[in-house]
Amino acid sequence: MEANYQATLSPARTLTGMNNETEDPYPSLSDYHDYEPNLEFDDTELQASSNNAVQLLEAKLDLINSGAVVTGIDYLESPVSDGTIEENFEEALVDAPVIESADDLAALEGELADEEDYLDISRHGIVEVVGDDSAGRKIIVVSACKLPPIGKEAFNHAKLLRYLMHTLDKFVEQDYSLVYFHYGLTSKNKPPLSWLWQAYKAFDRKYKKNLKALYLVHPTNFIRIVWQIFKPAISAKFGRKMMYVNYLEELAQYINLDQLIIPPQVLQHNEQLVSKNKKSLPTSPPQSTVATPIGTTQFGASLSFIKENNNGDPIPPIVKQCIEFLNCPDALETEGIFRRSANVGVIRKLQHDCNQGLQADFKGDPHIAAVLLKTFLHELDEPLMTYELYDEITQFQTLSKDERPRRVKILVLEKLPEDNYHLLKYIVQFLSKVIDRSDLNKMTSSNLAVVFGPNLVRAPPSRGMSLSAIGPINQFIDFLFTFQDKIFII
């Protein structure tokens, strides 16, 4: 019977699928979750009334409560996350408001999302945006342990949902990954089930389309139950993007943990799990392709190091290779250029080859060259716009429109180190050609600013980038792109 059961499972969810260069190459990262039943619905979202949806969920709950649901998956249980939901599922779902649009969502509290001040939500640090993953995708982190206990303070869950949408709105037009740290979600701080249903309805296709990987870290029975409840309404394609991660060491194979803001209690919980289970964990690959820089190293090195080993040329060889490859009509007019991700294995191999002094082979794919350029900028030991200028850049929104040109010129022409200036000018002047063809490639100056902002400007390691800084950074970079001909000395 076990053999028959496994024969019906989707091969895309097994670890062997990790080497396939497909659109969704990521399976479950843990062997605890390698065997996930294939979803029986296609990519068309469930088209049913709220009553029909509730009936489907109630039917699924009946199966769960009767023990008829197949649960042949071993979840590592957290001593804090009890994995139980005490409320009445049916009553909660029936009473849940139907969310059809952003206005419906805002109407829950009588406020429009784009008019809100989210400081009361953002101060908890529940949602954070960090660097890029191995495929060049922006990473959004959600930490359940940072949800405040219900009743201890007046925490507005409806506003949290609007805040999530407000955050994702900045990134849904490009590929992105989401990391959810489940540890710390308990019966004391978990949102009601009706909120989860509102969230699923609110996050429509535009949010799901470019989500390429959803990492569920330290899953428990709570996730199993919720997954079974919502499974009828989840498309097969979206389901394949979900990956269960029992240990941070597994996540480290795909995301540089140093750039994640991992809560201390999550780190401690992971240590306890590793010690308790005494599991042979995979060895995390080095996050930079060469631990000790050699003369040909470019990724992870400093601009001064690269210049010294490149005959004094301030433009690194890999930047020239990428831009020369992209500086042709076919590449410049590629729709979504710099927005799309690339295969992780291909990018890692190119990084290794470049650090060994070899020429990059882009295989005729503009997206590979685009991701490699972004990866180089992101992995510089110090961002191109330098840590010293971070605070000034994040105050850009406070400047009057008349003051902005003068202040940006001072920052770029006087405060930016000379080598940084030359490389920035080289890249921005190339990107102006991308913007000139935005009618074909769909990459306007603002779209490129969202992509390049976090790669050109990063917070000092001791501080981490807050969500409130993303807007000013993107506006600053957009201004730089838009007025580059007036800012840079020809």
3-state class of 217 per DSSP? strand
Give residue-wise pLDDT tens across range 165-207.
877 777 767 778 889 999 988 888 888 777 877 777 777 767 7
pLDDT of residue 285: 47
Residues 312-340, mean pLDDT to the nearest whole number: 94
pLDDT of residue 147 exceeding 60, the answer is yes
Give residue-wise pLDDT tens across range 406-420.
999 999 999 999 999
Q: What span, in angstroms and rounded, lies between the C-alpha atoms of 111 and 114?
A: 9
Q: Which of 71-80, 295-304, 333-342, 456-465 has the lowest mean pLDDT?
A: 71-80
Q: Structure pTM? A: 0.58
| β-pair type (127-132, 138-143) | antiparallel
Residues 152-161, mean pLDDT to the nearest whole number: 77
Query: Per the structure block, which two tokens stand in for 186?
Result: 């308990």
Q: Which residues are bridge partners to 213 per DSSP?
A: 177
Contact between residue 371 and residue 451 where contact means Cβ atoms under 8 Å apart: no
Give residue-wise pLDDT tens across range 14-57.
223 333 334 333 344 444 333 333 322 233 333 343 445 445 54
Give residue-wise pLDDT tens across range 94-118.
344 444 444 444 444 444 344 457 7
Cβ within 8 Å of residue 108, ≥6 positions away: 97, 158, 198
Contact between residue 373 and residue 323 where contact means Cβ atoms under 8 Å apart: yes
Edge-to-edge strand list for the sheet holding 127-132: 127-132, 138-143, 176-181, 211-217, 242-245
Q: What span, in angstroms and rounded, lies between the C-alpha atoms of 409 and 455?
A: 20
Cβ within 8 Å of residue 280, ≥6 positions away: none
Contact between residue 15 and residue 31 where contact means Cβ atoms under 8 Å apart: yes
pLDDT of residue 207: 75
Binning pLDDT at 50, 70 and 90, where does residue 293 land? low
Number of H helices, E strands in the chain: 24, 5
Q: What span, in angstroms and rounded, lies between the C-alpha atoms of 375 and 481?
A: 19
Alpha helices in 437-466 (DSSP H): 438-441, 445-456
Query: Per the structure block, which two tokens stand in for 403?
Result: 């003051």
Domains and CATH numbers, the chain: 119-273 (3.40.525.10), 303-487 (1.10.555.10)
- Phi then psi for residue 242, to 5 deg, are -85, 130
Query: Per the structure block, which two tokens stand in for 313?
Result: 């040329």
